[in-house]
Structure 1
């Protein structure tokens, strides 16, 4: 659908010159599953039973920790949540020293710390004190060449909370040592992988794909061949689920006709990837379907506000969002009317599904967050039209909402919970810290993907512009400051997600995983706006290319 080049007041419409989708929707609609045959499901169930017994069996504590870590990094943790928690509790109960550390074994202590925090157990940074209070200089010197210890300490340090000085020191020390070992060690692949992005920041599906190769290369006495076989087969089965889901979504998107809009980003596949990375377990297809649809609407409306609409049109559009009424929709220009109606109908479709499945009217809560979106989009448009340069604080007050993370995280609650609660929905609509920090990471990583020439052009404000304008800092110093804000947000979210999570279901994981997906999409540039680089390769790994397995 070609959009009119003139606004209702006669001025020329702007264009962001977004690149078209890199995907052929006929191909996407033709995707089919290949791993739902009964023989595959029978193999999975048999291997799962063997591995449940294995995880619960007697073995040295350090070996058990390594196996639990492998299970989770291979993408199989969701099959063995009960067994993993039981095994970790047994290890905690068996620790005789007060701190819970393994005597003289820092790598094992760091692994224990990371696994306990990631699995919701309370563990203090004091677990490391005995390693630094004796002879810290000798200890550091002995660790410099212990790559396994450095990697374990480095990975654990990303599970830290605000104010944990020991963890901060561990991160600086281990990362510096690993940087010095890059390219000169037999563990070079693992060092490069860790320094590129720590495992705590990596989306599970892509980490699983990489870790399978490492696990296979590292075949040793402690490796479990059944674990690797199950990981490969399970990955392909989950991929088959994704193929069916994205095929149906592509049909929905094409039927809406929004893929023909020439002023906005056509990013259905990328939207699906965001949501598949947020909640990857196969049983939560309803989340991926409903939330992908909502995400498509967020990007569509964001482009209306950022690029297409005039100031007068956007004021009127915001009033329609606030009233949530289409009775006088003809007052809007045709293209904006079409976009608003698509958002309105899609939201009501999600509301209908929730009413049918849960007997609960979710639309008032969705509407409340859409109103927040509209107001912050309008505020940002006002800055542009008036030439206002916001402070960093002023910018973040609006832009952490306008990027849309709050809406998607709300979807992660009501599409995955067994029973919805009015109290929890009110709590989520007030944006608790864990939601805010996740969205803040999304906002800041998006901003960091801005190229230097885009900063000079200044088409749309980003946090980097605001900080540079406000302080006069250089671009390099500004990027370092924004990266420090990302790290602080991770620390705060870690504490909120690991220690306090009143929401049942996968909501906690969704908050962490939205931030992880953000780190992935924007690591090497704008992988959402310009998705023909790493993003397309990641989509192929997740959706298109199965893993070769033994028949």
Structure 2
């Protein structure tokens, strides 16, 4: 999945520049699209035992999505937004403002969702922070200022040392715990740790413990809300646009809120949301035309959830083509995952994997009926993306895309073989030994025998709780590696590409933090869609 996502991001990003280490692609002399339709509607009628995951139908009907009213922004509001944008720009670039005030402003601007409008200005302002820290101005006096500066520097690719926190960690515990804002800033900064940075690990444990005990302290309602929000999920792991929706409301409650900045953030959020709705309606028509949800009723119909993934990865209005491309990719991955994990037999899946690897339209003749429409949907969609990329960027990417899909399907196939050959404990074993909760067993009953939690449990015979802890530790170590890569000034990709990859990790954490919001969306996931895509801010 990651490879296919990465290629889509790379070639749909405006002003795409080929990575320095990219292989030379074979030029294509044909700039025409070839579409193949499959009219088969019945499934294979053989003696194979088919599983059913009993996925619930989508709650987002085609009619509902298409009923979303276009909310064009009139010229008066556009002119107003332009003036407010210039006003905020002057606030960032003013050299008369103290560095801490500028850093706090940048933090507010980014969390309000306006950072993409001021990338150059923010980069220059954050650069001033380096000199401030080198001169030790305030770094031994204000924990909050030091932690905020550290976080922004690491966020923008500076490999600043964790040692700047040594003087604070050596202070008496009572002094640190009195500074709630400082502890909160240090807590957020600790999530930008690299591998081996034990001081930041210690700082996270310390701040988490004391922030969780804030009930015993007298702090403002606004600060208490900020702390609860951070402890639920740190800022670094949150989807930027969902954070913006929450922060706009939280910022409005502050007595020191800048009214112009707040009004601009609200207007910008609604303007961006209007673009997202237009993209969604376009993809809804594409999905209905593909008709996979109707033809393959054993699969998940999750167009809205797939689109939500893409908004979590890249929300900026100029990336409409990227969101559409990624929505196609995620929708097809969801269907193909169900084909491999739930419905297909091993023999059928080997045929399908071979057909994709050959990328020969004649191979469709070897497939059972239900797989014919799968292959042709994939074939047409990928060729469509190849044509668009060739037209827009003069790059022929077919070999890269087909290899990415082939590698993914081979991985799916290996998972299938593992689940069929592994001596997996029975449902009774899991319950009687207390290894798994009732909700976990429900996953098994729907045919999921190869997810990460179950694999750890089956291989090590540990409890569900222990397996989840092990996976959580793996996730934390992976975040540290991502942090290090983001601070690598020699990355071969453009910054928007790298940021989108980080956002992929964030949307994955959001989706699976409290269950499976993709396969079995609940009320929380539905509310997230409404707040991000459907409901404007009034």
- TM tier relative to shorter chain: 0.7 to 0.9
1:221-240 pair list within 5 angstroms: 223-240=257-274
**Alignment partner of 1:518 is 2:527:** no
The CA deviation at 1:385 is 2.6
After superposition, the Cα gap between the structure-2 partners of 1:6 and 1:167, relative to the gap in structure 1 and judged at 3 Å, is same
**Alignment partner of 1:167 is 2:200:** yes
1:444-463 pair list within 5 angstroms: 451-454=439-442, 457=445, 459-463=448-452
Give the corresponding residue for 1:249.
283
- The whole-number CA distance in structure 2 between the counterparts of 1:175 and 1:228 is 30
The CA deviation at 1:450 is 10
What do the CA deviations read for 1:260-310 (whole angstroms, capped 9, x no partner)?
131000000110010011011110111000110011111111111111111
Give the corresponding residue for 1:312.
347
1:95-110 pair list within 5 angstroms: 95=133, 97=135, 102-110=139-147
**Alignment partner of 1:193 is 2:222:** no
8 Å contact kept, 1:467–1:478: yes
The CA deviation at 1:459 is 3.4
Greater CA deviation, 476-485 or 108-117?
Answer: 476-485
1:263-342 pair list within 5 angstroms: 263-342=298-377
What do the CA deviations read for 1:367-408 (whole angstroms, capped 9, x no partner)?
110110111111111122333569xxxxxxxxxxxxxxxxxx
- The whole-number CA distance in structure 1 between the counterparts of 2:444 and 2:382 is 37
Give the corresponding residue for 2:244.
208
1:19-30 pair list within 5 angstroms: 19-30=56-67
**Alignment partner of 1:17 is 2:7:** no
Structure 1 residues not aligned, in runs of 5+: 391-447
Structure 2 residues not aligned, in runs of 5+: 1-38, 426-435
8 Å contact kept, 1:3–1:262: no
The CA deviation at 1:2 is 10
Give the corresponding residue for 2:98.
60
Counterpart pick for 1:122 among 159, 163, 170: 159
After superposition, the Cα gap between the structure-2 partners of 1:241 and 1:249, relative to the gap in structure 1 and judged at 3 Å, is same
Give the corresponding residue for 1:533.
523
The CA deviation at 1:200 is 0.6
SS of residue matched to 2:213? helix
Give the corresponding residue for 2:454.
465
- The whole-number CA distance in structure 2 between the counterparts of 1:384 and 1:169 is 39
Counterpart pick for 2:408 among 346, 357, 373: 373
Counterpart pick for 1:77 among 115, 119, 138: 115
Deviation beyond 3 Å, 4+ runs, structure 1: 1-8, 94-98, 182-185, 387-390, 448-451, 454-459
8 Å contact kept, 1:178–1:191: yes
After superposition, the Cα gap between the structure-2 partners of 1:542 and 1:471, relative to the gap in structure 1 and judged at 3 Å, is same
- The whole-number CA distance in structure 1 between the counterparts of 2:153 and 2:533 is 31
TM-score (norm: length of structure 1): 0.84
- The whole-number CA distance in structure 1 between the counterparts of 2:533 and 2:164 is 41
The CA deviation at 1:142 is 1.1
- The whole-number CA distance in structure 1 between the counterparts of 2:474 and 2:45 is 39
The CA deviation at 1:455 is 6.0
- The whole-number CA distance in structure 1 between the counterparts of 2:437 and 2:312 is 19
Give the corresponding residue for 2:499.
509
- The whole-number CA distance in structure 1 between the counterparts of 2:494 and 2:162 is 27
**Alignment partner of 1:179 is 2:215:** no
8 Å contact kept, 1:55–1:87: yes
8 Å contact kept, 1:6–1:13: no
Counterpart pick for 1:498 among 463, 470, 487: 487
Aligned length: 483
Indicate the RMSD between aligned Cα atoms, in angstroms: 2.2
- The whole-number CA distance in structure 2 between the counterparts of 1:386 and 1:125 is 47
- The whole-number CA distance in structure 2 between the counterparts of 1:451 and 1:282 is 39
After superposition, the Cα gap between the structure-2 partners of 1:2 and 1:264, relative to the gap in structure 1 and judged at 3 Å, is farther
- The whole-number CA distance in structure 2 between the counterparts of 1:465 and 1:76 is 41
Give the corresponding residue for 2:128.
90
After superposition, the Cα gap between the structure-2 partners of 1:302 and 1:101, relative to the gap in structure 1 and judged at 3 Å, is farther
What do the CA deviations read for 1:172-198 (whole angstroms, capped 9, x no partner)?
000010111158643221111011000
After superposition, the Cα gap between the structure-2 partners of 1:371 and 1:539, relative to the gap in structure 1 and judged at 3 Å, is same
After superposition, the Cα gap between the structure-2 partners of 1:475 and 1:94, relative to the gap in structure 1 and judged at 3 Å, is closer
- The whole-number CA distance in structure 2 between the counterparts of 1:95 and 1:491 is 23
8 Å contact kept, 1:110–1:153: yes
- The whole-number CA distance in structure 2 between the counterparts of 1:504 and 1:143 is 40
What do the CA deviations read for 1:502-540 (whole angstroms, capped 9, x no partner)?
201511111110111111111221100111321111111
The CA deviation at 1:78 is 0.4
8 Å contact kept, 1:449–1:523: no
The CA deviation at 1:324 is 0.5
SS of residue matched to 2:515? coil
